[in-house]
Amino acid sequence: MARTLVVDQEACSGCGTCAAIAEDCFAVSDDTDKAYVVDQSACSEDEIQEAIDTCPEEAISWQE
């Protein structure tokens, strides 16, 4: 089964780092001030991995 990219809404601080690194994949919601996945296929694997590695809250992960 395909993997699904998820942002843990509890953990996310809304810092915006993921959206800065992979702007086509992540955005920060104006409503919740939390990041969400826009389109996991819109960025490269490297960009997503960098966002995962850089997130200060370790809120981004793949779910199988």
Helices (H), the chain: 17-21, 45-54
Residue found under tokens 């997503």: 48
Among 17, 22, 25, 48, interactor with ligand SF4 by CB under 6 A: 17
Token representation of residue 52: 């995962």
* Spatial distance between the Cα atoms of 3 and 33, rounded to a whole number of angstroms: 25
* Spatial distance between the Cα atoms of 46 and 39, rounded to a whole number of angstroms: 15
Query: Based on CB atoms, which residue is closest to ligand SF4, 35 or 48?
Result: 35
Under the binding rule (CB under 6 A), the answer on residue 7 touching ligand SF4 is yes
Nearest-approach distance from CB 28 to ligand SF4, in angstroms: 6
Query: Based on CB atoms, which residue is closest to ligand SF4, 44 or 58?
Result: 58
Applying CB under 6 A, the residues found at the interface with ligand SF4 are: 7, 12-18, 28, 35, 55-57, 59-60
